[in-house]
Structure 1
Amino acid sequence: MAMKVREVADLVGTSVRTLHHYDEIGLLTPKETTDAGYRLYSNEDLELLQQILFFRELDFPLKKIKEIISSPTFNRQQALELHRKMLLDKRKQIDQMIQTIDKTIMYTKGEIQMSNKEKFEGFDLSSNPYEQEARERWGDETVEKSKAALNSMTKDEQKALGEQMNSIYRDLASVRHTSPESEEAQEAIKKWYDFLNSGKIGHHYSLEAFQGLGQMYVDDERFTKNIDQFGSGLALFMRDAMAVFAENNQK
């Protein structure tokens, strides 16, 4: 049964003005209206609103949310799984901050000693660590650029590209039992970084994005399964090696 804007606002606990704003910016525009011009929200609209509010709860700006959910490759199931992971991490951080507050209260009462490091445990002043992952999956024009780059190649060129990728994976698999910080590991992972940024696949990875991509290799079981075909534990090794590479090459 379709719902009017006031009914949706009451159901969700938001304001009519907020829903009107979402409509105005093209973030959530109900397809149905009454003869009198009132917006009617379908179950599909409500599901999309839930998705939007999950992103908002995790501090994504509205512009970025619109970009993500408007992508033709957006996958609701994947997004929900990402939300869950992000919320679990957020809960862990909040629990840590509560512990820091409790210890600080005891410290101000003179009941315990507290190191300077302990005073700041739980704070996270970095940018949203999952925004890059969301952008890699659904944002910007990454997918379309990659498709365009591949479509512009002949079949022989595509085959050669695949063979080059496989060769790099095999080289990485051969050193996966060494330390990710070893010279061999870093030389091998640099080949992967250079390949991704060669322009052959229509995308450029910053060091931050490169590290985020490595984390995705472990977080997304599909990546893990494909990569580990070249050697058990390769995805985990690549994640660690990519993180070391990004850190070592930061200016």
Structure 2
Amino acid sequence: MKVKEVAGLVGISVRTLHHYDEIGLLKPEKTSPSGYRLYSDDNLATLQQILFFKELGFPLKKIKEIIHSPSFDQKEALELHRKMLVEKRSRIDTMISTIDKTIEHTKGAISMTNKEKFEGFDFSQNPYEKEARKRWGDEAVDKSNAKLGNMSKEEQKALGEKMNAIYRSLADLRDTPPESDEAQAAIKEWYVFLNSNFGHHYSLDAFKGLGQMYVDDERFTKNIDQFGDGLAQFMCDTMAVYADKNKD
């Protein structure tokens, strides 16, 4: 199958498949004389494994280590995926039950205890922080947390408003080419904002990698696309152009 056919079958972008190829995560079986990537059934089986790991929150680097390990066992991995997804489903079912009970409670049909109102919630670990620690190490996150912790509530609110304003500005431009002057000026503002406010300096390579994570990790995609459908992909493409242009 050609890359566009695989993308259409799976529901991911062609750019994502190209990225998997570039980082050695999923190499197509072969390339046609005209330069088309061609994927085999074995490639599709590997892609399924990758997407199962992604669904469970594994970063791409870790997925690559796992699936390319000589000791990797596909059947064992599938059994692990199933076990973890069942656990995830159980927690979601509990939250749905809590919602149903809350609806009945608001109608006056039942009475809920305060404990029952929060069954299924688990904030013991911030998934964004966990992902960041895996990708950039504890030091970068600790610096970011320390800087935010030293801000007043008013300063934190102002910072959040500035961040949202940049998102909205980029959302307004998401139908323009990533390499356009307007898009590049807006993404430069995002680059400067990140490096000025979180106690950690992003190199151009790290900035480009961060953009790729916006589309690789559905949690980030969902958060960013609140400002406009397709914004995460646009930011990913625009950040890649910015990083490549400014390396010269």
TM-score w.r.t. length of structure 2: 0.49
Structure ranking higher in helix proportion: 2
TM-score w.r.t. length of structure 1: 0.48
Between structure 1 and structure 2, the one with the greater Rg is 1
